[in-house]
Chain A
Amino acid sequence: MSTAALPLDVARVRQDFPALCTPFHGKPLIYLDSAVSGLCPRPVIDRMSHYQAYEHTNVHRGVSTLSQEATDRFEEAREKVRAFINAPSPKQIIWTRGTTESINLVAQTFGRQRVQAGDEILLSAMEHHSNIVPWQLLAEERGARIRVIPMNDAGELILDDLEALLSDRTRILGVTQVSNVLGTINPVKEIIARAHARNVPVLVDGAQGVPHLPVDVTDLDADFYVFSGHKLSGPTGIGVLYGRQELLEAMPPWQGGGSMILSVAWEKTTFCGLPGKFEAGTPAIAQAIGLGAAIDYLLGLGLDRVGAHEHELLAYATRRLQAIPGLRIIGQAKAKASVLSFVLEDIHPHDIGSILDHEGIVVRAGHHCAQPVMQRMQVPATTRASFSYFNTQEEIDALVSGILKVQEIFQ
């Protein structure tokens, strides 16, 4: 049953966030930077704290009741992630440190197996550095070439020539579901279908997608889908690599160590199956359990209500900011998530960020780890406000007042 008919009770939701209830520079904290990292709600913090205080020991080790229960909580969190993105099996959910590590894992195992001299890796023009640099390292090592799906001035991928870019040498396509700078929602399902028609596997960077959109990796038919816990109201230090089972099974292990083996002898070591094969060493247990709690929290709010509220905030902010003389929104795609980048006359974003900071308003200023996007849009940097389910229209009004103050100081 849809819960969208009942709007989100934002005032009540905000009480779950200690930082929002505590003065910052003597003013209420206005956190418009969820795209850089989400705030953790109290139930997530409490769940991790409870685990660390009463339930902690290492997982997948020993016969103690405590170890078994820690393992159960840890594996329950994996199952929550599986259900959240509709993966067929929890074996296909690999814990990593975050999106960046997930992509490096794929590049250094799957990529090294497949990419040879003269091969091509296809990426989109709006990737975060984390979906560029691991592939550049691989391309350099193998003598392969990176090709790029271009985008238009509005910040939408130009897919007319996708078939031409998907050559017989293309070994993988990497694309972000939502641009961290422009907010663009890419048609990843269509991109995946067209890549698959040419037998090219696709890695979807879901770091900015999963906080805003319902994700169904089975429906998307994604080969790899990666995201971070900390952008999903969870903690840092935990992330997810989802992969198609036959691909994960064919990939060699990445890091070696405890937990990822069946048996070790000087002559030969055999590795365990999924997901353990890719999880060497003691994992981030409290963080995994925290991510599970974050998923429970979001499901409790209702993903459709969260989406509807964020959509309203984006529409309101776009209308208010567009009305400011000298302000230009960077990223005008038709389909956008609640991420809003802008430039203001020739005032540098770092100056804007510092002045807004004094007003208690947290935004991101800079290149957002996406320098090729800055180059394409011909701006050195942008200021970015990103909106989450706990934000309000009043906070957007405060942002507008802050921007007007910046203009006044710089006039």
Chain B
Amino acid sequence: MSDPRELYQQVIIEHNKKPRNYGDLETCTHQAHGLNPLCGDDIVLKLVVADGIVQDVRFQGQGCAISKASSSLMTVNIKGKPLAEAELMVEQFREMIRGTLDTAVDPNILGRLSLFQSVKNLPSRVKCAVLPWATLHSALQGEQTVSTE
């Protein structure tokens, strides 16, 4: 296993402490509840989508630093983006965590999300990082609840 400091970088620690777009949306067009029953990570994600663009997004719930920072950075990265781009990010994030996409080499739109690349060396934490993305995917597909189990 690599040094945990590689994963627990300042950006992740900081997003864990002060998550962006944290809270509820009174009205939304899409929402989903993501659960990781094994470790208790639990997020509710709400979105306002109009004209094919993610106009607003919020999340709330509880979880470890990895899942919270992943949720926070996800919301920052999809806000204002077209749906197709958000879905592409979901796909590329998953590929990065699986190790089939190397952000240093392969073309991608992940930007700062590449911070999570070293999660692939921590198999027991993969689900924590992927949970918000799986939840986003179900929200956009119109599913209500998703579990990473």
Question: Which positions in A face B, CB cutoff 8 Å?
Answer: 25, 347-351, 354-355, 357-358, 365-367, 374, 380-381, 409-410
Contacts and interface: CB of A to CB of B under 8 A. Distances in A.
B27 interface: no
B52 interface: no
A25 B65 CA distance: 23
A380 B64 CA distance: 10
A24 to B, nearest CB: 10
B122 A354 contact: yes
A167 to B, nearest CB: 34
Interface in B54-102: 62-66, 68
B109 to A, nearest CB: 28
B4 A354 contact: yes
Given A355-B8, A410-B13, A350 B1 contact: no
A374 B7 CA distance: 28
Contact of A367 (B7, B40, B68, B122): B40
Given A355-B4, A355-B8, A348 B63 contact: yes
Question: Which of under 10, 10 to 19, 20 to 34, or 35 or more describes the interface residues of B?
Answer: 20 to 34
- The DSSP consensus for interface residues of chain A is helix
B40 A381 contact: yes
B4 A409 contact: yes
Given A349-B64, A351-B65, A358-B1, 12 more contacts: A348-B63, A348-B64, A351-B66, A354-B7, A354-B122, A354-B125, A365-B39, A366-B38, A367-B40, A409-B13, A410-B13, A410-B65
A409 B66 CA distance: 13
A380 B8 contact: no
A366 B64 contact: no
B26 interface: no
Nearest to A409: B8
A22 to B, nearest CB: 16
A350 B64 contact: yes
A374 B38 CA distance: 14
A348 B66 CA distance: 10
Contacts of B128: 350
A25 B2 CA distance: 9
A410 B40 CA distance: 20
A285 to B, nearest CB: 32
Given A366-B39, A381-B39, A381-B40, A351 B1 contact: no
B32 to A, nearest CB: 20
Contacts of B1: 25, 357-358
A380 B122 contact: no
Contacts of B122: 354
A102 B7 CA distance: 42
A262 B16 CA distance: 64
Nearest to A405: B4
A350 B39 contact: yes
A358 B3 contact: yes
7 contacts: A25-B1, A348-B63, A348-B65, A350-B39, A351-B64, A355-B4, A409-B4
A218 B13 CA distance: 54
A302 to B, nearest CB: 37
Q: Which 10 A-B pairs have the closest CB atoms?
A: A348-B64, A350-B64, A351-B65, A355-B4, A358-B4, A409-B8, A351-B64, A380-B62, A366-B39, A381-B40
A355 B124 CA distance: 12
Contacts of B4: 354-355, 358, 409
Contacts of A348: 63-65, 68
Contacts of B40: 366-367, 374, 380-381
